[in-house]
Amino acid sequence: MKHPARIAVPGPAGQIGYSILFRLASGAMLGPDQPVSLTLLERPNPTSSAALKGVMMELDDCAFPTLAEMKAVRDPAEAFDGAEYVFLIGARPRGPGMERADLLEANASIFETQGRALNEAASRNVKVLVVGNPCNTNAYIAYHHAPNLDPKCFSAMMRLDANRAVAQLAEKTQKPVCSIQGVRVWGNHSNSMYPDITAATIAGTAATELVDEAWYNDYFLPTVATRGGAIIKARGKSSAASAASAAIDHMRDWWNGSDGRVVTMAVPSDGSYGIPEGIVCGMPVICTGNGNYEIVKDIEFTAAGRARLDKTVAELVKESETVAPLIAE
Ligand code: NAX
């Protein structure tokens, strides 16, 4: 029997938690031969605790052969003890009258605590995926509070944005999603993101030959960037199953490698493309296996593409400036 992979999930009693846990437990991320151990960290209030208890009862009732163990904990250091894969899902949602700066500040304390606990307790090769919004800057805060871990252990989720972009291209061209390669989403997981199809191919043909510029500018870009809001409008709740699925795609590729495929991850910038070093920015990467990745280099931008990249990077820089006093030692 293989040693169970240690997976920690803060925020397990929420919507995304309810979608992701069953897939993690069933082997959707690490395969049917890899047992998993789930450590679930919720807020210590009666409603969340009761909801988590119900989720764990359902996980029990699935009798997944791959679920070797599972426990609920209240202390982040206990949650991350030896953790190899961490999904930071729980975050403070934006409340009425809250400005973006208030939201950044409210989340800073959560991600500071979690960053410190990861620093103290997690595997030195841990893979931390920040899903809770504002995810790029939350990841930035978390890794700044984990000085003994490589910043490359941290990333934020923009795979859902990339998956949404692929889905729109597939629908427009009536081609299967598996025939689409090379879509990348730059920048912030916000409306400023830059979904980029300049290097994308669909069944081997350049995407830019199959869709026209007007569709790209007037339909594709705003549809991808505002898809989260459209989901809320349609179902009265934010994306959950698609977010969970993207989180699994992200972590699976990150750990196993992407077989040479370009995938989108928000990662600490190494200064490529003039993106200030350290900010957590959506970028095209190739995952090379064992949790390693390389940022794709030498991409040339159109003038419009460069302007879009600059705009979304400027937003990330502003967010990093807002939280700067909160991460100063
Ligand atoms: P829910 O409000 O349904 O669930 C969040 C859960 O986290 C709750 O059970 C809450 O008690 C718990 N929680 C909050 N603070 C915690 C803490 N400090 N420690 C442990 N648990 C804590 O939200 P859900 O729909 O699951 O979304 C979770 C986060 O994902 C939100 O911030 C949301 O904005 C973000 N999203 C990010 C996406 C992305 O692509 N990066 C897309 C989907 C989603 O919008």
Beta bridge partners of 39: 8, 71
For ligand 1, whether the C-beta of 89 sits within 6 Å is yes
What tens digit of pLDDT does each residue of 90-135 get? 998 877 778 878 889 889 999 999 999 999 999 999 999 999 999 9
Give the Cβ contact number of residue 164 at 10 Å. Answer: 23
Q: Is 326:140 a contact under the CB 8 Å cutoff?
A: no
* Closest ligand 1 atom number to CA of residue 18: 26
Looking at residue 12, the DSSP 8-state letter turns out to be T
For ligand 1, whether the C-beta of 91 sits within 6 Å is yes
Measured between its terminal Cα atoms, the distance across the chain in Å is 44
**How far, in Å, CA of 126 to CA of 85, rounded?**
6
Question: For atom 27 of ligand 1, which residue has the closest CA?
Answer: 16
Catalytic residue (choose from 3, 144, 145, 189): 189
What tens digit of pLDDT does each residue of 239-274 get? 999 999 999 999 999 999 999 999 999 999 999 999
Q: What HEC string does 240-262 produce?
A: CHHHHHHHHHHHHHHHHCCCCCC
Strand pairing report for 180-181 and 280-289: unpaired
- 43 pLDDT exceeds 70? yes
- 34 pLDDT exceeds 70? yes
Question: For atom 32 of ligand 1, which residue has the closest CA?
Answer: 132
Mutate to test the pocket of ligand 1, among 40, 52, 89 (most ligand atoms within 8 A of CB): 89
Those residues with Cβ within 8 angstroms of residue 35's Cβ, 6 or more apart along the chain or in another chain = 1, 2, 3, 4, 5, 66, 67, 68
Check residue 329 and give its pLDDT: 61
For ligand 1, whether the C-beta of 16 sits within 6 Å is yes
Measured CA angle at 20 (ends 14, 23), to 5 deg: 150
Give the Cβ contact number of residue 122 at 10 Å. Answer: 26
The pTM assigned to this predicted structure is 0.97
